[in-house]
Structure 1
Amino acid sequence: MTPAELSQAVLSAVRAVVEAGELTVAMPEQVTVERPKNKDHGDYATNVALQLAKPAGRPPRQVAELISARLQQLPGVAKVEIAGPGFLNITLDAASQGALARTVVEAGEAYGRNDALQGLKINLEFVSANPTGPIHIGGVRWAAVGDSLGRVLRAAGAEVTTEYYINDAGVQIAKFGASLQAAANGRPVPEDGYVGAYIGDIAKQIVDGHPDVLDLPEAEQLEVFRSAGLTLMVDEIKRSMEEFGVHFDVWFSEKSLHESGAVEQAMERLRAQGHVFDQDGAIWLRTTDFGDDKDRVLIKADGDTTYFASDAAYYLSKRDRGNDVAVYMLGADHHGYVGRLKAIVACAGDDPEHNIEVLIGQFVKMIRGGEEVRMSKRAGNIITIDDVVDWIGVDAARYSLARSSTDSTLTLDIDVLTSTSNENHVYYVQYAHSRMCSVARNAAQLGIDKGSAEDFKPELLDSPWENALLGKVGEFPQVVASAGELREPHRVARYLEQLAGDYHRFYDNCRILPRGDEEATDLTRARLWLAEATRTVIVNGLGLLGVSAPERM
């Protein structure tokens, strides 16, 4: 019996009590069952009696007694105890608990997927670094977290569009083009320009592709370097993202908002909502009405359009494309954007508590030999995505960057992440998977397989270690649902580490394969089912993080 099935069983018990007239209360939409920390408190616990007591006008323990009487009649339920103020502690019989292994194996890659967010259409924008240089370590964190979040949201039933916003308009792009032009002509980089070996590399590529560019007038020459440099930089960002296992459904150009007239149309729509006003020759959006610290300029007095106008048009574009929720993933230095983005949503007539979510990620640093690594050979003053991959590999980078809440700063130890120790969390999880694959290979060499589903005897999986492992395997769908609902993919990684620990303890205490001349037994085959079920969950969980599950290590 899976936790979801048990939740439905408890719900059915409540319904039976209500329909019998023993309790007058509205039926809850769902019931939560959880694994108690103390095994003496049963296999699962639910607080449904406490939830229903107040609306029913009855003491919680009295409500618990009514539900308990119904639950104890269900097949697979061995015992129900009432604890404390009215918690229901449920113990399943071994056969019901063990049958989960068969359920998981038969479900395969579908196990863990659920409909918690079904019907929700989400636009998930992440990384979106200016295309003026390689992706730096902060962007690498968002690449790992954002891509994992997109996978988790889809597994939880949401329809997700992942998106990269290319800031290809404005002052920074002009400075980028001027920096490339200066490098190609052997001149000093302009003030506030871009430096690093990559500038010279890109400038050389442009000259090689446009041999006559240095013979052009300065203005025409600058446009070639700006346009060609932007194309080359975006292509490099796309390459680095793909090599990191990150795919974007949409690469959205800021410039397209201006060229299509979307910015002007956005201002007209916001003016029609009554929030645009003219003052001192400029056009403003009255965001202070919705909690912003000051009103924002859309068009300056000199006629130039601001980034804020682009932001407004971009949000409206996301909504016009049918998205219910726009999720923005921004770095710690963009904390001030939260209020103004929410104000745009409110000015557009949407709900800033529902239609937009802004996730802020804290900084990342890398250390080696106890010392912080600060410099990149190519970029000069930043650590790039290629540096991270070169130092620790894609799997270690993706896993370690996604396993912590984005609310916290993160330190990655290169020495640990390239070691084969339990301190290396991705190694710990991947090693558990390879151990399971080794069991399957050894079984095949001995001519043993787990047998058919009809011959599987789940009641034999009754040891404490088997019970603990089955319980952890059963938690996976709820972990995926919670990770999606809370936008916290790190919950999947932490869960996998716990699951790997439970498997290692099961492996060390429960001999799976026979030794010497011993014959395979029904218990042998039952444990092979359990090992395969655990392997399935590890593969599915690592897949949600974009991390491989090697069969040998």
Structure 2
Amino acid sequence: MTPADLSRTVLHAVHRAVAENALRAPVPARVRVERTRPGGSGDYACAVALQLAGDAGLPALEVARILRERVAAEPGIGRVEITGPGFLSFTLDAPGDSDRAVLDAVREQGSAYGHGGALRDEVLQFHHAREVRAAVTADAVRRLVVSQGARVRISCEEAGEMGAAAGEAEWVLLGVTVDAYGAPPVTSPAGPSAPLVPVRPVPAGATARELLERLGPDATRWGLLRPASHDRALLGDELLVQGEANPLFLVRYAYARTRALTRGAAALGFTPATDAAPYESPARPLLDLLADHPRVLLTAARHRAPDRVARQLEAVAHAFFDFHDSCPPLPSGDEKPSAAHRSRLALAEAAGTVLAGGLSLLGISAPAHL
């Protein structure tokens, strides 16, 4: 990463922080980075947090923390520290180190890759109508914000006609749970409650029972969660099509394919390795998406937007198949497994882990065979 690349990366982090309402300040035209002075920390330093603090109405240290959160996982950056009154100090990775670090993190963290503690100080209480899309959306948002450290309680406006248990049996089949019915009190003997956060997507236009009978739980959840909450959910039979035109099938098929590659490699007697060989250029889009995955999850949690996770999984699936077709992880014919195959297999397995973890956050299963 060159100084110009680093400057653009930090500027992009400022844009994201402003777009996500984490910062309220004008975005500068450019961000200046300089070589760290002797005795300083890291390779480069930047004073952008001090520059933005006044307009943002925040201490420079808090602005630096917000930006560090958005820069630290970027490819090419090994470490970001906050020094002095709010300087950002960057230590850059050697070429290839950042890719290996991402893949090693996915391997170590498994389906929890991208989870974090950025929302650990938040206590949230979601409230929704007795309607299937609202219930499924609230459940998915709970999974997302909990993955970022928040504590959550969900309440529903009213129980079903047959009572809280029997009346919502279909919701249970969809993986939905409700903690309470009716609007909870603002205060309790234990003190004030968390304020209600309404969850109000465009209604599905069908009942949970109708959707389950026609689509089953996985396709129902995908159909309800894939569109943004202000858009109408598309719940037709196309959700059941076994073809790549169906995004749900594409994502699950990509995951199943990564599992098949692992089985195939085991049969050939070789295992993945993140440092076996450099990655070819067709791998770059997939590597970048995996590196960006923690930011996508945090943004989706902050915006209460599970549709962002669904779109991320679609992008990962497309990038995986492009990579797979250009750089096959398994040898063909009489070809012997090489270092390149071991590296490719490591990337394929990481893609599968991210796909499975993302589907889990949406409450959707990831079959190893399709």
Q: TM-score range by the shorter chain?
A: 0.7 to 0.9
**Matches of 2:254 and 2:340 in 1, distance apart?**
21
Equivalent position of 2:132 in the other structure: 140
Give 1:96 deviation, angstroms: 2.7
* Alignment partners' CA distance in 1, 2:224 and 2:46: 52
Superposed, 1:1-80 pairs within 5 Å as 16=36, 25=50, 26-27=60-61, 28-31=64-67, 32-33=70-71, 74-77=91-94
Cα deviation per residue 1:21-76 (whole Å; 9 max; x = unaligned)? 9969445223234999xxxxxx679xxxxxxxxxx9xxxxxxxxx99xx85xx452
Question: Shift of residue 236 of structure 1?
Answer: 2.5
CA distance in 1, matches of 2:343, 2:354: 17
Between the aligned partners of 1:549 and 1:22, the Cα distance in structure 2 is: 43
Is 1:520 aligned to residue 334 of structure 2? no
Structure 1: gaps spanning 5 or more residues: 37-42, 46-55, 57-65, 78-92, 130-138, 169-229, 255-310, 330-359, 366-382
Task: State the match for 1:538 in structure 2.
Answer: 355
- Are residues 326 and 22 of structure 1, via their aligned partners in 2, closer, same or farther at CA, if it must alter by over 3 Å? closer
**Equivalent in 147, 153, 158 of residue 161 of structure 1:** 153
Preserved CA contact (<8 Å) 1:163 1:251: yes
1:361 and 2:201 are equivalent in the alignment: yes
Q: Does 1:488 align with 2:310?
A: no
Indicate the residue corresponding to 1:439 in structure 2. Answer: 261
Name the SS of the counterpart of 1:393 in structure 2: helix
| Residue in structure 1 matching 2:196, options 318, 326, 342 | 326
Match of 1:152 in 2: 144
Would the aligned equivalents of 1:123 and 1:161 in 2 still touch at CA under 8 Å?
Answer: yes
**In 2, distance between residues paired with 1:148 and 1:404?**
13
Alpha-carbon contact 2:76-2:97 (below 8 Å) kept: no
In structure 2, the residue matched to 1:316 is: 186
| Contact 2:76–2:98, Cα closer than 8 Å, also in 1 | no
**Two-structure CA RMSD over aligned residues (Å):** 3.6
1:118 equivalenced with 2:120 (yes/no): yes
1:469 Cα deviation from its structure 2 partner: 0.8
d(CA) in 2 for partners of 1:323 and 1:17? 50
Q: How far has the Cα of 1:94 moved from its partner?
A: 2.3
CA separation in 2, counterparts of 1:418 and 1:166? 32
Q: What displacement does 1:98 show?
A: 3.2
1:160 counterpart SS class:
strand
Is residue 2:208 matched to residue 1:390? no
- Secondary structure at the aligned position of 1:327 is classed as strand
Amino acid at match of 1:117: L
Please say which of residues 499-508 and 462-471 is displaced more in the overlay: 462-471
Task: Supply the distance in 2 between the matched residues of 1:22 and 1:443 (Cα, whole angstroms).
Answer: 45
Matched length: 319
SS at match of 1:108: helix
Q: Which has the larger radius of gyration?
A: 1
| Structure 2 residue aligned with 1:302 | none
**Residue in 1 that maps onto 2:22:** none
For residue 529 of structure 1, give the secondary structure of its aligned residue in structure 2.
Answer: helix
2-side partners of 1:17 and 1:164: how far apart? 57
Q: C-alpha distance in 1, partners of 2:158/2:189?
A: 18
- Deviation larger for 514-523 or 432-441: 514-523
2:180 aligned with 1:251, yes or no? yes
Deviation of the 1:461 alpha carbon: 3.6
- In 2 relative to 1, CA 363–30 (structure 1 residues): closer, same or farther, beyond 3 Å? closer
Asked if 1 retains the 8 angstrom alpha-carbon contact of 2:224 and 2:234, the reply is no
- Per-residue CA shift, 1:507-529, capped at 9, x if unaligned? 11001111233221222111111
Q: Tell me the CA shift for residue 163 of structure 1.
A: 2.5
Distance 1:19 1:404 in 2: 51
What code does the residue aligned with 2:156 have? Answer: Y
Give the partner amino acid of 2:286: L
Q: Percent identity?
A: 26
Q: Does residue 402 in structure 1 map to residue 332 in structure 2?
A: no
Secondary structure class of the residue paired with 1:161: strand
Equivalent runs, 1:140-539 vs 2, <5 Å: 140-166=132-158, 232-248=162-178, 250-252=179-181, 254=182, 314-317=184-187, 323-329=193-199, 360-365=200-205, 383-414=206-237, 416-450=238-272, 456-457=274-275, 460-539=277-356
